[in-house]
Amino acid sequence: DAKTTQPNSMESNEEEPVHLPCNHSTISGTDYIHWYRQLPSQGPEYVIHGLTSNVNNRMASLAIAEDRKSSTLILHRATLRDAAVYYCILKNDNQGGKLIFGQGTELSVKP
């Protein structure tokens, strides 16, 4: 299973953009990049996913490097509610599609 590497923790100020990096140098051509986040005392929550092109949704944007060996989750204006552990996951639908979670990045947001 391909692995991802993320910083253990990051800090942000409220209402500022946040860029959460993820390295996945062993990504295969059929791996999708998924992001989930886990707020305290809750189960993980889907954020966004992509394959090759940058993606936007109401929660965040996903920027994928041209060689796909890294990606960045962008929260455009962090709020206190965005404080969570963010997981970058490679999901290969040809291998059953199971989610292999790494350790994630714990994001703290300061008012």
Partner 1 sequence: KAGVTQTPRYLIKTRGQQVTLSCSPISGHRSVSWYQQTPGQGLQFLFEYFSETQRNKGNFPGRFSGRQFSNSRSEMNVSTLELGDSALYLCASGSMGLATRGELFFGEGSRLTVL
* Nearer residue to partner 1 within complex by CB, 14 or 61: 61
SS3 per-residue string spanning 34-58? EEEEECCCCCCEEEEEECCCCEECC
Residue 15 engages partner 1 in binding (rule: CB under 8 A): no
Spatial distance between the Cα atoms of 59 and 15, rounded to a whole number of angstroms: 14
User: Rounded to whole angstroms, what are the CA distances from 56 to 9, 26, 105, 111?
Assistant: 24, 24, 20, 25
Kindly state the DSSP code that residue 65 receives in the 8-state scheme: -
Shortest reach from residue 95's CB to partner 1, in Å: 8
* Nearer residue to partner 1 within complex by CB, 23 or 38: 38
Residue 68 engages partner 1 in binding (rule: CB under 8 A): no
Residue 80 engages partner 1 in binding (rule: CB under 8 A): no
The encoded tokens of residue 45 equal 């929550």
Residue 40 engages partner 1 in binding (rule: CB under 8 A): no
Considering only 5-13, 14-22, 43-51, 63-71, which stretch makes contact with partner 1 by CB under 8 A? 43-51
Amino acid symbol at 37: R
Residue 58 engages partner 1 in binding (rule: CB under 8 A): no
- The site for partner 1 (CB under 8 A) is made up of 32, 36, 41-46, 49, 87, 93-104
